[in-house]
Chain A
Amino acid sequence: MSQYAIKAEHVWKEYTIRHSLEGPQTSFKAVLNAPFNWVMRRSSKYAHLKNTEDFFALKDVSFEVEYGESVGLIGRNGAGKSTLMKILSRITRPTRGIITLYHHVNSLLEVGTGFNIELTGRENIYLSGSFLGMKTSEIRRKFDEIVAFSEIEQFIDTPVKYYSSGMFVRLAFSVAVHLTPEILLLDEVLAVGDADFRQKSFIKMKELLSSGATIIFVSHSESAIKEICKRAIWLSHGEITMDGPAVSVVDNYMQSISQHSN
């Protein structure tokens, strides 16, 4: 029996899009109007006045990931990649279906999670690390390593607002790559910093993989997926189009895109 890291069973995610100018939140006024709107909507004559629309960002998605596997997620914008990552990272919950995570998960969906520009580099390392689920003792133990990796030693007690954008990104990314996840969910964050730093980050990713971590990686860079991942899942319109060896899935995906644009 193989050991699973993630098991997703018939996952659906439904979103409600609002077309009105009200924006995502409603107001008390909208609540008072609700009964009236409801009656209006019931009569088909006024159906076009309906200002919300439901759509499924994920439709019946099922897959299993074995421990130590590296899986790339590809697909066009709006295919459901980010939604799937958000559900796996427990930021939002599925509408239907069950996902089981068999190991400790860390997700890295942006660079600089929880960073505050008013705080110093040191304070941000601790705050961001805590948000990402590190224990204080763990951050303390890795602190020097994080600072060294980011190459900003002499500015560590300077408020981050005085950093250059390059320094900011290096520090933020350095915190992130020093997580020791068993499952890492990674969203396009490899493409930060200058070429040197990108190379360093890339090596760090490979180290993580060889240490046996499971990685789910979303990227628009087909070459990065081919290099890091053995397997790829291609999503389109919320459904799995293809799931298999990274090289063949990426090639098929590329082919479909070029056909589309011709």
Chain B
Amino acid sequence: MAFIKKADGFVPIVITPPSSLEMPNFRELWDYKGLYFFLVRRDIKLRFQQTVIGFLWIILQPLIQMLIFYVIFGILVKVPTNGIPYQLFFLSAFVVWQFFTQVINNSAYSLVGNIGVIIKSYFPRLALPLSGIASSLVDFAVSFLVLLVFLLLDGHYPITLRYLLLPVLLVITIVFSSGVGLLFGALMVVFRDTKNFLAFILMMWMYVTPIMYPITLAPERFRVLFYLNPMTSLVDAYRWVFLGQGDLPKISYLLISFLVATVIWFCGAIAFRAMENKIADVM
């Protein structure tokens, strides 16, 4: 779609056949900012209404996971964590991982999950996955508070200036997960088995990311393979913030992660745009 400026200010909308490479229209996305707010409100309200324990579920979910992994890897297997209590070691990475997968899932299901309104009205479709980020952030805020409580109760992990890096890490995480989610959202329109595929990939991805074990457990010569996964260095950086373990992540490295995440985001957004043009025709 192209825009031609008219003298009286309104820009006539030109509807053309879709081309295969279309960039997201950021100006239009901005015009629909009210929609994000009400979408996020809808998501949050529905999520809390559906479960009996509602809000409590956000707190319980990471805690139960933590308990299970603590029993298996902290007590039974005794994974070496360089003196850090295993609960804290696990939880400090897991809250991030949970946020990461939630953004991916929200984005991936955003087109097929809102098909009813998509085939009956026009609005920038990207508003759906983007509003999913905000509702995931609400969950992250809660589980982050849980983590903080555990860190402070332990007494050895005070809040330091390192936390200033947290917003930077969050931005990289958001851009990366949103990009991956958009790619899956596009796939979902064409292939119905993407659902199974996605759940499987996310599970495998968690195992190859040092969340329940430290990267030092991997043999030195394979370690570089782990760092091909952008989440490895991100999780490392989060642990540096929360636990003060390891070195300050290199600025150049963070910059590269951000660039990679941005490239993936644009690839995802373009694939998503291509599929949003198709979805009303195939469903």
Contacts and interface: CB of A to CB of B under 8 A. Distances in A.
B193 A15 contact: no
B32 A91 contact: no
A130 B281 contact: no
Interface in A211-253: none
B115 to A, nearest CB: 11
A132 interface: yes
Contact of A92 (B42, B123, B281): B281
B192 A113 contact: no
Contacts of A135: 34
Contacts of A68: none
Interface in A103-140: 103-105, 107, 109-110, 113-114, 116, 118-119, 123, 126-127, 130-136, 139
A29 B117 CA distance: 29
A102 B12 CA distance: 4
Contacts of A23: 192
Q: Chain B: interface residue count, which band?
A: 35 or more
Interface in A71-122: 86-105, 107, 109-110, 113-114, 116, 118-119
Contact of B193 (A28, A91, A99, A102): A28
B146 interface: no
A27 interface: yes
A113 B120 CA distance: 7
B280 interface: yes
Contacts of B281: 15, 92
A123 B41 contact: yes
Contact of A93 (B123, B277, B282): B277
B45 A118 contact: yes
B120 to A, nearest CB: 5
A90 B35 contact: no
A97 B14 CA distance: 10
Contacts of B191: 25-28, 31
A56 B42 CA distance: 38
B222 to A, nearest CB: 30
Interface in B14-33: 14-18, 32
Contacts of B120: 91, 109-110, 113
Name the 9 nearest CB pairs between A and B, nearest first: A136-B34, A130-B35, A99-B15, A90-B122, A92-B280, A101-B13, A127-B38, A25-B192, A114-B117
Interface of B: 6, 10, 12-18, 32, 34-35, 37-39, 41-42, 45-46, 49, 117-123, 189-193, 197, 277, 280-283
Interface of A: 15, 23-29, 31, 86-105, 107, 109-110, 113-114, 116, 118-119, 123, 126-127, 130-136, 139
8 contacts: A25-B190, A25-B282, A92-B277, A95-B17, A100-B12, A105-B13, A130-B32, A130-B34
